[in-house]
Structure 1
Amino acid sequence: MADHVATLVVDPDHTGHHFQSVSFVVEQAVLGGPVVLLTSHGARGTEEFAAHLAELHDAGRVEVVEALDGVLPATDAVAREVARVCRERGDVGHVLVMDGDQPLKRWWLVAPRALKDLPTRPRVTFMLTRYPARLALTDRTGWRLRVPKATLALAAMARRCLHRVVGFSGRDDVGTGWVVRRIGDPNDGTAHASERARWRAELDLPLDARLVGVFGFVSERRNAPMILDALVAEDLDAVLVVAGALTPEVRAWVEGLAPHPRERLLVRDAYLDNPTLDRYIAAMDAIPLLLTNNGPSGIMGKAESAGVPVVTAGSVVRAREARALGAGEACDLEVASVGRALRTVLAPGYRVTTRESDLVTPARYARAMLGTSEPRGRPDENP
């Protein structure tokens, strides 16, 4: 593959499911040439690397360069290391910055200086995870976020250090965008609710109870207390399952609960690898997503793949997606509204109506990020 250009993927943040997205990109980028991951010191020793990238690394499908300090390094350091890797290899044709919201603020300023002496400048793509794709004219908060990011992107493009910007849209959004090209968040799931009894048995969960779940990196932003309050206030016969890596604040909340609400809560405080996370989601009767970031959700995508209804609050994007795809119910971010929505999705006979054709496969997501077309002879099973 010496005549093929390399792809340099930049993601210093190993937390959450960053490296899962990197793995999707690697699987597609390696079809066209070598792939290098520029990441933070110690990333190869993390559980997330073992779960998502170790097999690809061991198979020689991705080279890993640990050269950045921390999960949010200074932008000038990122630019210098990108330039160094490009200079040393000589074959990098595309640089993909996976979480570009923070670096975008100063990339236009520091990158031209870092990249100026390269014999051949690579194409540079930034992925923005916090860019509102569709806004009402009256959404002042959204426009205050969107306009500066679009301006910074155009400034970097004018200085020839940025060539393409992509950002998440809701899975129902078929628009393409102008400055920021819209791509659908992937639906990645390996378990389905049709085997709910099997997953509950494997995970030692109650077989006959109605279960709602909060999973992944469980911080205060997940609003688990509000979900539990909603179950109690609406007098729903259901148990809240909280599983994943809990922050100290969430642990303190669990430990401080009175006996009555505590008996409605089941806690598993441990990192969940991707297959285990998928099984937890497929084992639930509903997935509440009470998050104020106005963007799509990876957990929501997994729930859609698994056929599990969601209750979403705090995001116009997720509300629009839930309605358009028949994936669940949208509500207000307050206890009574959440309780009513949970009652709706937990009612006997409630069914999601998401179609398989509505789902965005990881391969399609990765190709959209890379700006490549579907490879000949390798179509998606679910395009």
Structure 2
Amino acid sequence: MPMTVLVEPHPSGHRFQAVANVALLAARTSDVLLLTSVGATASEEFAAYLSDVPIKVEERFAAILPSTREQARAIAQACRAGDVATVVLMDADQALKRWWFVAPRVLRRLPRRPRVVFMLTRYPARLSLTDRTGWKLRLSKAILVLAAMATGSLHRVAGFAGRDDLTRGRLVKRARDPAVCLAHSRDRARLRAELGLPGNRSLVGIFGVLTDRKHAPLVLGAIGASGCDADLLLAGRVKPDVAAWLDALPDALRSRVIVRDGFLANATLDALVASVDVVAIAMTNNGPSGIMGKALAAGVPVVSAGSTVRARELAATGNGEAAELTAAGLGAALGRILCRGGAPVRPPRVPPATGESFAATLLGLDGS
């Protein structure tokens, strides 16, 4: 039976969830092998996302960010050991920089050259004409894609796209980030009771790895500016910069912040997302958000700032509001949702983005 090899050295939740989506689809027609880093199978992320997926695993890399040459050599070894038909680098942005130069030399002596697919997690699919930074990034990556394809070492490339983007893409195919959540806001009262969250308070949630990039201080200030009586829920691994901010908060403000620190299994994360009144995503990375997808599937409104991609997605899905990345802008949007008892989620104008449709686009099984 032919084999599909997935390369993902970094055992993080969103990354391994994407691996699971691709592995489940590929396993219908091939064996699946994951090349990852040493210790990955013992991680909480692996247990949460991949323990029940029909996949073989080889811990080939000493670090979670191996060099392009290390990845190419590991792929070549897997090809010599088995009948590898397809190789997918699940987070290929760094590898793309040198793949055109490194991979042909490493792969040229293989008895059978595999079809190589790259997943780009940072490729701006839709840009305004005035976005010079975005166009510079997009054009540079497009040139590297063409260079690698010209060597015969790369055959297909896909990139994360917003859930509103139904175009296929030409050089880089557009894989809509899945919107999947195992819990729903209709069960909010029960979920809060099970999670030990206050049932009589409005909650604004920030989820995932909690670093200063998620602007928790700004969101807390925005809650105050909204004029609504609400608390902030921080759920995920709290990094030192955020922990230091929490420790320095005055008691009156610290009492308004609920913290669930640590890795969250997918079911727990979904339940927490579904339990809040609003999800706040105040980040300047101009791309889709996995947490925003969970909120969409759970029927929880989102207030987003710092991304035109997420703003377009909110307009298409009807799942919240885009705001300026300021306390006043975020506060006004939070107030419009919270102070009227929760904004109803409008019917979406686009079909749902699923894990299977994401995997089909990446693997080229969607006809694109």
Q: Please confirm whether the aligned pair reaches a TM-score higher than 0.5, indicating the same fold.
A: yes
Between the two structures, name the one with larger relative contact order (CA 8 Å, sep ≥ 6).
2
| Residue 373 (structure 1) shift | 4.3
Q: Deviations over 1:67-89 (max 9, x none)?
A: 11211111111011111111111
User: What is the SS of the residue equivalent to 1:240?
Assistant: strand
Of 102, 105, 126, which aligns to 2:118?
A: 126
Counterpart of 1:64 in structure 2 is 57
Q: Deviations over 1:278-322 (max 9, x none)?
A: 000000100000111111010000000000000001110000000
Counterpart of 2:151 in structure 1 is 159
For residues 100 and 69 of structure 1, the distance between their equivalents in structure 2, rounded to whole angstroms, comes to 18
Counterpart of 1:291 in structure 2 is 283
Matched, 1:255 2:247: yes
For residues 315 and 41 of structure 1, the distance between their equivalents in structure 2, rounded to whole angstroms, comes to 35
For residues 48 and 186 of structure 1, the distance between their equivalents in structure 2, rounded to whole angstroms, comes to 18
Counterpart of 1:274 in structure 2 is 266
Of 41, 50, 54, which aligns to 1:53?
A: 50
Cα contact 2:173–2:362 (8 A) shared by 1: no
Cα contact 1:214–1:224 (8 A) shared by 2: yes
Cα contact 1:325–1:358 (8 A) shared by 2: no
User: What is the SS of the residue equivalent to 1:329?
Assistant: strand
For structure 2, the 5+ residue unaligned runs are none
For structure 1, the 5+ residue unaligned runs are 375-383
| Residue 5 (structure 1) shift | 1.5
Q: Deviations over 1:7-47 (max 9, x none)?
A: 00000010232111111111110001100000011101100
For residues 334 and 206 of structure 1, the distance between their equivalents in structure 2, rounded to whole angstroms, comes to 27
Of 208, 216, 241, which aligns to 2:208?
A: 216
For residues 150 and 336 of structure 2, the distance between their equivalents in structure 1, rounded to whole angstroms, comes to 51
Residue type at the aligned position of 1:40: S
For residues 111 and 342 of structure 2, the distance between their equivalents in structure 1, rounded to whole angstroms, comes to 63
Cα contact 2:173–2:361 (8 A) shared by 1: no
| Residue 349 (structure 1) shift | 5.5
| Residue 177 (structure 1) shift | 1.2
Counterpart of 1:364 in structure 2 is 357
Of 9, 18, 26, which aligns to 2:15?
A: 18
Residue type at the aligned position of 1:39: T
For residues 11 and 157 of structure 1, the distance between their equivalents in structure 2, rounded to whole angstroms, comes to 21
Matched, 1:189 2:186: no
Greater shift after overlay, 21-30 or 345-354? 345-354
Q: Deviations over 1:112-155 (max 9, x none)?
A: 01100001100000000100001111110101111100100000
For residues 130 and 301 of structure 2, the distance between their equivalents in structure 1, rounded to whole angstroms, comes to 30
For residues 317 and 306 of structure 2, the distance between their equivalents in structure 1, rounded to whole angstroms, comes to 18
| Residue 235 (structure 1) shift | 3.0
Counterpart of 1:377 in structure 2 is none
Counterpart of 1:350 in structure 2 is 343
Matches within 5 A, 1:76-91: 76-89=69-82, 91=83
Aligned CA distance change for structure 1 residues 102 and 325 (closer, same or farther; 3 Å): same
For residues 5 and 24 of structure 1, the distance between their equivalents in structure 2, rounded to whole angstroms, comes to 19
Q: Deviations over 1:199-245 (max 9, x none)?
A: 10110000011001011111111111100011123332000000111
Matched, 1:7 2:4: yes
Residue type at the aligned position of 1:109: F
Identical amino acids, percent of aligned pairs: 51
Q: Deviations over 1:181-208 (max 9, x none)?
A: 1111001110000000011011000001
Aligned CA distance change for structure 1 residues 114 and 282 (closer, same or farther; 3 Å): same
Counterpart of 2:32 in structure 1 is 35
Q: Deviations over 1:329-371 (max 9, x none)?
A: 0011111001001111212252111449631111111111111
For residues 313 and 211 of structure 1, the distance between their equivalents in structure 2, rounded to whole angstroms, comes to 18
User: What is the SS of the residue equivalent to 1:54?
Assistant: coil
Greater shift after overlay, 61-70 or 228-237? 228-237
User: What is the SS of the residue equivalent to 1:217?
Assistant: coil
Residue type at the aligned position of 2:73: R
Counterpart of 1:378 in structure 2 is none
**Aligned-CA RMSD value:** 1.2
Matched, 1:97 2:89: yes
Aligned CA distance change for structure 1 residues 280 and 361 (closer, same or farther; 3 Å): same
Residue type at the aligned position of 1:10: V
Matched, 1:316 2:308: yes
Aligned residues: 366
For residues 198 and 349 of structure 1, the distance between their equivalents in structure 2, rounded to whole angstroms, comes to 18
TM-score, with length taken from structure 1: 0.93
TM-score, with length taken from structure 2: 0.97
Cα contact 2:227–2:335 (8 A) shared by 1: no
